[in-house]
Structure 1
């Protein structure tokens, strides 16, 4: 699935949102390492990022050829500063209508509207892929993210009080949210 757009952020700063490609593998892995070290709200820790540059490049090339999944990067001044992805829940007929959404942005770029832009691009990609429902999990304490998702129309459909077990914070409650497309 192809996606490319340039958006003006606050202060007239241009943000490019495009497909991640194989040549982005090293930079994207570096960004993932940083984002996963900067916040306790993401699924994994930096040392749990199990792929090398070659594996990541192959994965990105495969994703780029996909008709129903996408990995997007946010590029500011020629540097990747965040990413978002839409992946199928599964290929079986009973779940083929559902996709998962995830996002991460370097902390130094929080509050600029990049999350909103990546989320809107992901929703657009999910619609074009033919999904009927986009799903996500968010740590309940992450009020900025919960608020962003609610403003986009995501609705809460459940909670898991022990969804994550953080090394720093102990158990974290996860909010399950969905958006009908």
Structure 2
């Protein structure tokens, strides 16, 4: 999928939201490693990422050519400071209406509106792709993320009290979904 939009952040700075492409691979990996170091709220630890720059380039190329998946990068001053994406839950008929959503923003850029802008961009792309539902899991103690998702219409539909077994201990996950057909 393709996407591009310029937004103004809360501090007045410009931010370009654009579908990440092959040429962005090294910068996307840098951002991944940083964001996954800065918080316990993401799925993996940075050392668990086994992608090379070449593999990341292939992944991003596939996303840019896909009709139902995308990885959107947020650029501030020409540098990627966050990414978000949607992926199909499955390709079987009973699952084709569902997309999975994920997001990560560098801590230095939290609170500027990048997370909300990336989320709204993914919702727009999901609608364009024909999805009827977007799903996510969020660490329950990540109150700012929960508020963000609720502010754009996501609703809780369950909890997994031992969803993540982090190095710091168990983390409960809130399961959330956004219905796009209502």
Is the structural similarity TM-score above 0.5? yes
Deviation of 1:12 after TM superposition, in Å, equals 1.7
Gaps of 5+ in 1: none
Aligned length: 180
Instruction: Give the corresponding residue for 1:123.
Output: 123
Deviation of 1:112 after TM superposition, in Å, equals 0.4
Work out whether 1:91 is the aligned partner of 2:96: no
Deviation of 1:11 after TM superposition, in Å, equals 2.7
Give, in whole Å, the separation in 1 of the partners of 2:17 and 2:162: 34
Superposition pairs for residues 78-117 of structure 1, below 5 Å?
Answer: 78-117=78-117
Instruction: Give the corresponding residue for 2:173.
Output: 174
Give, in whole Å, the separation in 1 of the partners of 2:57 and 2:76: 21
Secondary structure of 2:11's counterpart equals: helix
Instruction: Give the corresponding residue for 1:155.
Output: 155
Instruction: Give the corresponding residue for 1:23.
Output: 23
* 1:121-164 CA distance string (max 9 Å, x none): 00000000000000000000000000000111101000000000
Give, in whole Å, the separation in 1 of the partners of 2:164 and 2:74: 27
Instruction: Give the corresponding residue for 2:65.
Output: 65
Gaps of 5+ in 2: none
- Aligned partners of 2:32 and 2:46 also within 8 Å: yes
What's the TM-score, normalizing by structure 2?
Answer: 0.98
